[in-house]
Amino acid sequence: MQLRSDQWYSGEDRNGYLHRAWMRRGTPADAFTGRPQIAIANTASDLTPCNAHLTEVARSVRDGVFEAGGIPLELPVVSLGETNVRPTAMLWRNMAAMAVEELLRANPIDAVVLLGGCDKTIPSLLMGAASVDLPAVVVPGGPMLTGTFRGKPLGCGTDVWRLSEEVRAGTLSQEQFIRSESAMIRSRGHCNTMGTASTMALIAEALGTVVPGVAGTPAPDSRLLEAAHGTGRLAVEMIAADRRPSTFLTKASFHNAIVALAAIGGSTNAVVHLLAIAGRLGVDLTIDDFDRIGSRVPVLVDLQPAGRFLMEDFHRAGGLLAVLREVRDLLDPSALTVTGAPLVDALEDAPIWDAEVIRPRTAPVVAEGGIAVLRGNLAPGGALIKPAAASPELLRHRGRAVVFDSIEDFHARIDDPDLDVDADSVLVLRGCGPKGYPGMPEVSNMPLPTKLLEQGVRDMVRICDGRMSGTAYGTVVLHVTPEAAAGGPLALVRTGDPIVLDVEARRIDIDIPADELASRTPNAATLAGFAAPRRGWERLYVDHVQQADTGADLDFLAGSSGSAVSRESH
């Protein structure tokens, strides 16, 4: 079998010598020509604590690769720690994807095993791998175990918001709040709610890029290492089968991912990531597909942030395959996985072991879940809402806008006792889109004004051109497109304008005459941040990032360039 890596290693000339000699370092002479070279793209980093254990996972992948006759090559790639990276990890997702793509293409490799976990790491790995189109398979790093505080489980992320709101409402002391900090992160692994990391691991499996049954395995569980070992072997087999992303990631795969996203009650962030991955593959996926395919799918998983349980419970209850078996009739049976077999073949033996955590189809958590796509004069390009995480009584609502021009403006004024806001008001936050912030931060689930919290208000309609943490909840209209900084009508809203939300009708509107809206110009504060001088990646990003409705990728990164490299400088 002719391998891509042979282009580097075969031949008795000076180039072959150079490529082999520098890689020898104890490696036997027969480790090069004709031996599959498997990169292990590893996002392990001390500054990405959710992924720090992936070095151990990589060792198991190495064993599997060796066993199958391949040569494992660990390749550290850009890693993004969601809680650390400023100004927001999403600003760097496309940079990480671009670096993964270029490193895979530039090096003598034949296939890649992708190790990710924390929110942006699996999306960036998949985006890069899709554009290079070498055989690629994901090993998700897995969620952490459930921590407890005062005898009760703590959902990381979700309970930080909940406890901090309790402090603001005066029902939890500051001292108790700080004491809960050391109980939040019990073990290695990523956040244990159905946040973005858990969602993207499960979605990667629903897409077919993970060996079925592996996603959701807790990070400290020895079965994760067993799966990593098996995935190393599989990566070698995928080369012989020429099983590249473009050969098995089809519209059918994305259809199944959308069904899975709805059934697990997954994060809204999956929408931008799936759109971006599809864009790399040339798969015709649109924002409306999420509503068309997913909005009538029942939510079967009772996990935080909207529900009760955590990922350790989810895995114990049967995991993704048990969920998918319940909605099997909604899946596209033609979609294949990295194994070469259809995804639905993995559902034969996938029982639910705990029907409180994973509900049967006959007793869903929410009858119709998924993500609703709204349009209207406030979001002509679309906006999202996750009805299952919203308050039912707010899904149809009319209220006065209280407008904030940036997240800093919001923080400066939200607790002003003189702020004219009540429970019916609609909080509008702009300047948080891909270009405006820049990087589309997770700020759409704005904290409520303290004075309303003290009155017992726990949810309000909120509208924003940014994203929302997958661990957050509430009646939040987000990903408003076009964003304010790109000239969207969100920039024209003024405090006091009546805003009308009607989720059933899929509408989000400012109820003012069209000619009045057309006559307005954005105020200077809305555009002030966007106009700041920039350099480096930030400049490249702001100049080229697309809107949320197509995945917020850079315009010049859409599509695939394949793995060919035509020139050699030696």
The reply to whether 497 sits near ligand FES by the rule CB under 6 A is: no
CB of 263 to ligand FES, least distance (A): 21
Q: Footprint of ligand FES on residues 12-31 (CB under 6 A)?
A: none
The reply to whether 190 sits near ligand FES by the rule CB under 6 A is: yes
> Which region among 146-154, 189-197, 337-345, 448-456 touches ligand FES (by CB under 6 A)?
189-197
The reply to whether 312 sits near ligand FES by the rule CB under 6 A is: no
Count of C-beta atoms within a 10 Å radius of residue 26: 5
- Taking alpha carbons only, the member of 458, 292, 429 closest to residue 373 is 292
Distance CA 10, CA 404 (A): 62
The reply to whether 78 sits near ligand FES by the rule CB under 6 A is: no
Give 195 or 218: the residue with its C-beta nearer to ligand FES: 195
The reply to whether 252 sits near ligand FES by the rule CB under 6 A is: no
Give 201 or 463: the residue with its C-beta nearer to ligand FES: 201
CB of 444 to ligand FES, least distance (A): 17
Judge contact between 365 and 356, C-beta under 8 A.
Answer: no
- Output the six-digit token pair for 35: 């031996």
Max Cα separation, the chain?
Answer: 80
The reply to whether 82 sits near ligand FES by the rule CB under 6 A is: yes
- Output the six-digit token pair for 105: 């293409």
Give 118 or 373: the residue with its C-beta nearer to ligand FES: 118
CA distances from 450 to 164, 168, 329 (A): 11, 6, 46
> Which region among 170-178, 190-198, 347-355, 381-389 touches ligand FES (by CB under 6 A)?
190-198
Instruction: List, in order, residues 6 or more apart from 261 with CB less than 8 Å away.
Output: 199, 203, 206, 270, 274, 290, 294, 370, 371
Distance CA 352, CA 360 (A): 8
Q: Footprint of ligand FES on residues 427-486 (CB under 6 A)?
A: none
Count of C-beta atoms within a 10 Å radius of residue 543: 11
Q: For ligand FES, how many residues bind (rule: CB under 6 A)?
A: 10
Give 119 or 465: the residue with its C-beta nearer to ligand FES: 119
User: 3-state class of 541 per DSSP?
Assistant: helix
The reply to whether 118 sits near ligand FES by the rule CB under 6 A is: yes
- Taking alpha carbons only, the member of 542, 407, 467 closest to residue 199 is 467
Give 140 or 212: the residue with its C-beta nearer to ligand FES: 140
Site string for ligand FES, 46-75 (x = CB under 6 A): ----x-------------------------
User: 3-state class of 383 per DSSP?
Assistant: strand
Binder to ligand FES among 7, 33, 55, 83 (CB under 6 A)?
83
Binder to ligand FES among 104, 130, 197, 338 (CB under 6 A)?
197
The reply to whether 202 sits near ligand FES by the rule CB under 6 A is: no
DSSP at 366 = B
Site string for ligand FES, 135-164 (x = CB under 6 A): ----------------------x-------
The reply to whether 119 sits near ligand FES by the rule CB under 6 A is: yes
Give 37 or 45: the residue with its C-beta nearer to ligand FES: 45
Distance CA 400, CA 404 (A): 13
- The position carrying tokens 């005066």 is 170
Distance CA 26, CA 140 (A): 31
- Output the six-digit token pair for 444: 């759409």
CA distances from 280 to 75, 244, 363 (A): 22, 13, 38
Distance CA 359, CA 558 (A): 38
CB of 142 to ligand FES, least distance (A): 11
Amino acid at 116: G
> Which region among 168-176, 188-196, 431-439, 560-568 touches ligand FES (by CB under 6 A)?
188-196
> Which region among 187-195, 377-385, 508-516, 540-548 touches ligand FES (by CB under 6 A)?
187-195
Binding residues for ligand FES (CB under 6 A)? 50, 82-83, 118-119, 157, 190-191, 195, 197
